[in-house]
């Protein structure tokens, strides 16, 4: 057994106790009522980094949620790794679908169940523990900086400002991030592409009060019906997005890269079965993996308005709402898409109702090179632990700050994720496999070994 393996074995109970303490804090960034929890989670991370061996670690308040910054300097002439992660999590609703409460972590069938178990508290904690091992075993050969935020799930606005204001402090050779997934446990992968995002809330307002649907129905425009019409006009029957100009900056991927992608082991039947669907659909001419990785998409995240209680109530709602997001590919500019979306909605708004669009957040996509020292180090680290060379993959998910790191700090990120499809991030019963948690710590410690050698 290697040193890191025995260190993990000797300390695994403590690692889990510590992670569980972190998971118990409901640091849900999209819900304003959790302000205090955001601070507790930040404080938890600060202490963890310090106890793991940082020279210092502090909390910096922002207009939004606090940023945690910590560092350990070995020697000025050594490379510097900047670790990024987030302590905020998504809302846990619908709560009744959780087998155990989302903020009371529990181990079942070799998995940790809790909101944030994977995304990103579990993955972030692996970094803290890998760092702890390197410090305590005196094997650390790089300077390390930790930059942990609490707004990833809401667009990272405050961290963006923080980066602009603290360029010097954040200088590094590479940013290391574990907030993505692997193809599966037997097929490790390194994420080389992320999609961007643009998120809106659309409100359709109609009459000045809810109306009796018998006395007014048929003569007054119903905001919920109007919203449904608007939504159907956003995409066509072929799953293409109808917004004029939307595809202008979408780059076609060279056939050679598409051929490479075809080699990625992906089992459509298993994919469908795992999420309980009978068929997939999406843009014509593209495979499921391509639809996720190299093409944009548009989805309604939630829709409400009118009477949704038990039984019936015969009314025409006064207004109706939808939360709508688009996923963008790397060359698309979220600011441009925002304008196109707003203009198109103004253009298709039915007469008789008033449509307003609120832009909630957005961020660009990202591409990472495979011919870098960091990629090679990551590749060797995965191979050492998972006994297979990882494949480069383009993910459909977004981490908006990653492109900003490149723009503001001039730094590339290496996306060493350890999530699995079955981890159900953002869903009820989010979980993280215990053995992946431990293997992740091991892999990260080897990354340091290869990168800093
Ligand atoms: N960890 C995810 C992103 C992710 C997961 C990327 C798996 C690739 C593979 C992250 O926490 C996330 O969910 N990001 C949001 C960003 C948005 C709210 C601005 C997303 O993608 O929905
Ligand atoms: Zn997430």
Average pLDDT score over residue span 27-43? 98
Helix ranges (DSSP H) in 1-120: 3-23, 35-52
Ligand 1 atom 6: residue of nearest CA: 397
Is residue 214's pLDDT more than 80?
yes
In the chain, the largest separation of any two C-alpha atoms, in whole Å, equals 79
DSSP strand pairing (319-328 vs 196-205): antiparallel
Residues 309 and 396 in one domain: no
Please report which confidence band the pLDDT of residue 295 belongs to, taking 50, 70 and 90 as the band edges. Answer: very high
Please report which confidence band the pLDDT of residue 2 belongs to, taking 50, 70 and 90 as the band edges. Answer: confident
Residues 91 and 185 in one domain: yes
Task: Say yes or no: CB of residue 180 within 6 Å of ligand 1.
Answer: yes
**pLDDT tens string 302-311:** 999 999 999 9
Residues 346 and 435 in one domain: no
Average pLDDT score over residue span 266-289? 96
Average pLDDT score over residue span 82-88? 98
Rg (CA), the chain: 23
Residues 345 and 442 in one domain: no
Residues 339 and 429 in one domain: no
Q: What is the CATH number of the domain that holds 304?
A: 3.30.70.360
Which pLDDT belongs to residue 29?
Answer: 98
Closest CA to 26 of 83, 98, 77: 98
Is residue 453's pLDDT more than 90?
no
Which pLDDT belongs to residue 131?
Answer: 98
Distance 398 CA to ligand 1 centre (A): 4
Please report which confidence band the pLDDT of residue 189 belongs to, taking 50, 70 and 90 as the band edges. Answer: very high
Residues 151 and 130 in one domain: yes
- How does the average pLDDT of the chain come out, rounded? 97
Average pLDDT score over residue span 406-415? 98
Q: What is the CATH number of the domain that holds 129?
A: 3.40.630.10
**Encoding tokens for residue 48?**
């963890």
Is residue 1's pLDDT more than 90?
no
Q: Is residue 42 situated within a structural domain?
A: yes
Residues 71 and 205 in one domain: no
Q: Which of 363, 382, 416 is the last residue of a domain?
A: 363
Q: Considering the entire predicted model, what is its pTM?
A: 0.96
> For 440, phi and psi rounded to 5 degrees?
-65, -45
Please report which confidence band the pLDDT of residue 208 belongs to, taking 50, 70 and 90 as the band edges. Answer: very high
Residues 386 and 420 in one domain: yes
Distance 239 CA to ligand 2 centre (A): 25
Q: Which of 335, 363, 391 is the last residue of a domain?
A: 363
What's the count of helices (H) and strands (E) in the chain, helices before strands?
Answer: 13, 18
Is residue 362's pLDDT more than 80?
yes
The best mutation among 65, 393, 398, 420 to test binding of ligand 1, ranked by most ligand atoms within 8 Å of the C-beta, falls on 398
What residues contact 140, with CB distance under 8 A and at least 6 apart?
72, 74, 131, 134, 448, 452
Closest CA to 430 of 28, 17, 146, 11: 28
What is the distance between the alpha carbons of residues 63 and 413, in angstroms, rounded to a whole number? Answer: 25
Residues 80 and 180 in one domain: yes
- What residues have their beta carbon closer than 5 A to ion ligand 2? 119
Q: Which of 321, 344, 363 is the last residue of a domain?
A: 363
The atom number, within ligand 1, closest to the CA of 197 reads 19
Which domain does 168 fall in, by range?
A: 3-194+365-452
Which pLDDT belongs to residue 128?
Answer: 98
**pLDDT tens string 48-82:** 999 999 999 999 999 999 999 999 999 999 999 99
First to last CA, the chain: 22
> For 261, phi and psi rounded to 5 degrees?
-60, -35
What is the distance between the alpha carbons of residues 45 and 403, in angstroms, rounded to a whole number? Answer: 24
Tell me the ligand closest to 417's alpha carbon.
1
Which pLDDT belongs to residue 61?
Answer: 97
The atom number, within ligand 1, closest to the CA of 123 reads 1
Tell me the ligand closest to 419's alpha carbon.
1
Distance 54 CA to ligand 1 centre (A): 28
């Amino acid at each position: 057994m290697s040193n890191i393996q025995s260190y993990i074995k000797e300390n695994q109970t403590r690692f889990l106790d510590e992670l569980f303490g972190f998971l118990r804090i409901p640091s849900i960034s999209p819900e304003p009522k959790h302000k205090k929890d955001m601070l507790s989670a930040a404080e938890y991370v600060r202490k963890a980094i310090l106890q793991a061996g940082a020279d210092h670690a502090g909390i910096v308040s922002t207009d939004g949620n606090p940023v945690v910054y910590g560092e350990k300097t070995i020697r000025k002439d050594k490379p510097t790794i900047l670790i990024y992660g987030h302590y905020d999590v998504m809302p846990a609703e619908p709560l009744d679908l959780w087998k155990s409460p989302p903020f009371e972590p529990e181990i079942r069938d070799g998995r940790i169940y809790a909101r944030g178990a994977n995304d990103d508290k579990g993955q972030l904690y692996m970094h803290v523990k890998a760092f702890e091992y390197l410090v305590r075993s005196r094997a650390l050969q790089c300077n390390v900086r930790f930059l942990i935020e609490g707004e990833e799930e809401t667009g990272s606005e405050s961290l963006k400002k923080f980066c602009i204001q603290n360029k010097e402090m954040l200088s590094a050779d590479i940013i290391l991030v574990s907030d993505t997934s692997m193809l599966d446990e037997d097929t490790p992968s390194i994420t080389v592409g992320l999609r961007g995002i643009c998120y809106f809330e659309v409100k359709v307002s109609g009459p000045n009060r809810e109306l009796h649907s018998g006395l007014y129905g048929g003569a007054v425009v119903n905001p919920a019906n109007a919203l449904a019409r608007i939504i159907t006009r956003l995409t066509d029957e072929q799953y293409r997005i109808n917004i004029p100009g939307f595809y202008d900056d979408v780059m076609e991927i060279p056939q050679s890269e598409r051929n490479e992608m075809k080699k990625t082991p992906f089992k459509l039947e298993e994919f469908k079965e795992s999420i309980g669907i009978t068929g997939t659909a999406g843009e014509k001419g593209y495979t499921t993996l391509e639809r996720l990785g190299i093409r944009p998409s548009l989805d309604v995240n939630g829709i409400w308005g009118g009477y949704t209680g038990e039984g019936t109530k015969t009314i025409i709602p006064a207004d109706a709402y939808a939360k709508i997001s688009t996923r963008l590919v790397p060359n698309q500019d979220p600011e441009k898409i925002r304008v196109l979306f707003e203009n198109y909605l103004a253009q298709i708004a039915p007469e008789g109702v008033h449509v307003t669009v609120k832009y909630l957040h957005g961020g660009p996509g990202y591409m990472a090179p495979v011919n870098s020292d960091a990629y090679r180090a990551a590749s060797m680290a995965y191979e050492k632990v998972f006994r297979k060379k990882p494949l480069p993959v383009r993910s459909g998910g977004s981490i908006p700050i990653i492109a900003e790191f490149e723009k503001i700090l001039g730094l590339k990120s290496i996306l060493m994720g350890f999530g699995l499809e079955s981890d159900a991030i953002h869903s009820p019963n989010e979980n993280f496999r215990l053995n992946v948690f431990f293997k992740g710590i091991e892999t990260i410690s080897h990354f340091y070994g290869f990168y800093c050698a």
